[in-house]
Copies of this chain bind each other. A is one copy, B any other.
C-alpha cells in the first residue's frame, strides 16, 4: 500500500441527489484511505507518489453485486430464449463443465482478467457447485488483488442430473470450501450461496443458514425474479407468506449480511422483510429485460431507504460493465414510469451512479465515495474518444457520455483499497 495522489478531473456522489465535480484537482490517498480532493496539493502530501492523469476522469470504482462467473463464456448469446429453456439448454450444461478443472482454468482466467480490466473494484460472484474450480476462481482473483466475495453454489433438488449435489455432500463441501478460502486468501472471501429456494431442499438451506451464522459469513441468492418462480416457491413453501418469508423461515434474511438479486416482484409482497439493514438488493436491469422478468421499482427502494446496488448478472446481462447497468437502470426506470406507474419518477444519472458506487459499495465496507476516510477504490477513465471537440463539457457531462457510449472500455488505472493495481 502506497500513499499517492491522483491528479485529474474528479467526480463522485456523496448523496443520491448531490454530486461533487473537481476538475483539474488532486485526490490524495493515505494509508489506503481517501484523504480528500484538493485544488492545490497541501505541503504535507508533497512527497506522495503522483499519478498524473490530467484530462482524464477520476471517479470511484464501481461495484457488481451479482454476477455469475461461470456464465461469462456465453454472455451475449441465445438471448431469444425464455428463462426455462435458457437455463436447461444452455446455462446448466455450461455450468456443469466446471467440474473439469482444466475447463475452469481456461474459462475463469478470461473472466478474471476482464473483471480486472473493468471499472469494477469488488463483486459478489457465483461460481458453480464444484468446490475445486470455485477455489481456483478465488485464487485467480486473489492473485489479482480483487477483494471479491465468491460463492460455491448449492443445489440439491429440482436440478438436472449433471448439476445436482447430494445434500450431505453439499453441506460438507461448503464447509470445506469456506475453510480453505478463509485460510488461503488475502483479498477474496467466501459467501454462502444457495442458488435459490427451488434448487435447495429445506434441510440444505437450513444447514447453509447455520454455517453462515456460525462462521459469520455473508449470503447471496436470488429473490422474486419472475412471476412463475414466485408461484413455484409458494408451492414449495406453502406456509410462507412470500418468497422472502420462505428464506426467512429457513434461517436467512438479515441475520447475516445478505444480497438478494432482482426483487422485481417484491413490492406489495415482501418489502417489509427487505427493510432489514443487513439486506442488499442487487438491481440487474439488463438481465431483467433480457429474460423478460420485468422492471424492478428502483425509485421505491431508493426513496424509502433500502440498500440497493447494481449487478451485471452476466449472463442474463450481456456485459460485465456496471456503466451499462447504470444507464440501463436509468432507462428501465423511465419505462417503469411510462408503462407501470406514472407516479414514480425516473432515476437520474446521478442517482444511478450513487447506487453503483456509494450505496452498493457499502456492502463491502466504507467504499464508493471520495469523502475522507473512505477506502480508496478509484478508476481513471480515458474519455478522449467521446469528449466533444465542438463544445466544452463539464466533468459530469463527460462522465454521463462515457457511461452511455464507452461502457465496455477497459479503464486506464485502477486502485482498490489503496493499492494501485495498474
Interface residues of A (CB under 8 A from B): 73-80, 103, 106-107, 110, 289-290, 292-295, 318-319, 327, 330-332, 334-335, 337-340, 346, 348-350, 386, 388-391, 393, 397, 400-401, 403-405, 408
Contacts and interface: CB of A to CB of B under 8 A. Distances in A.
A390 B103 contact: yes
Contacts of A330: 79-80
19 contacts: A73-B388, A74-B391, A75-B401, A75-B404, A75-B405, A76-B400, A76-B405, A79-B400, A79-B404, A110-B389, A290-B331, A292-B334, A292-B337, A292-B338, A293-B338, A294-B335, A295-B339, A318-B405, A339-B339
A85 to B, nearest CB: 13
A144 to B, nearest CB: 19
10 closest Cβ pairs, A-B complex: A76-B404, A76-B401, A292-B334, A318-B404, A339-B339, A76-B405, A80-B348, A289-B331, A292-B338, A107-B390
A295 B335 contact: yes
Given A80-B330, A289-B332, 12 more contacts: A73-B388, A74-B391, A76-B401, A79-B330, A80-B349, A80-B350, A106-B389, A292-B337, A292-B346, A295-B339, A319-B404, A335-B339
A70 B349 CA distance: 24
Nearest to A347: B80
A334 B290 contact: yes
Nearest to A394: B77
A413 B57 CA distance: 33
B76 A319 contact: no
A58 B217 CA distance: 51
Contacts of A318: 404-405
A110 B385 CA distance: 12
Contacts of A292: 334-335, 337-338, 346
Contacts of A334: 289-290, 292
A75 B350 CA distance: 18
A104 to B, nearest CB: 10
Nearest to A227: B338
Nearest to A400: B77
A319 B390 contact: no
A335 B349 CA distance: 21
A389 B37 CA distance: 43
Contacts of A332: 289, 335
Contacts of A331: 289-290
A393 B77 contact: yes
A386 B76 contact: yes
Nearest to A349: B80
B294 A338 contact: yes
B335 A289 contact: yes
A327 B290 CA distance: 10
Contacts of A75: 401, 404-405
A394 to B, nearest CB: 10
Contact of A390 (B110, B289, B390): B110
A290 B400 CA distance: 13
Contacts of A77: 393, 397, 400-401
Contacts of A397: 77-78
Contacts of A337: 292
Given A77-B400, A405-B318, A339 B294 contact: yes
Most buried by B among A332, A337, A339: A339
A405 B103 CA distance: 23
A264 B335 CA distance: 13
Nearest to A401: B76
Contacts of A73: 388, 390-391
Contacts of A79: 327, 330, 349, 400, 404
Contacts of A338: 292-294
Contacts of A405: 75-76, 318-319, 408
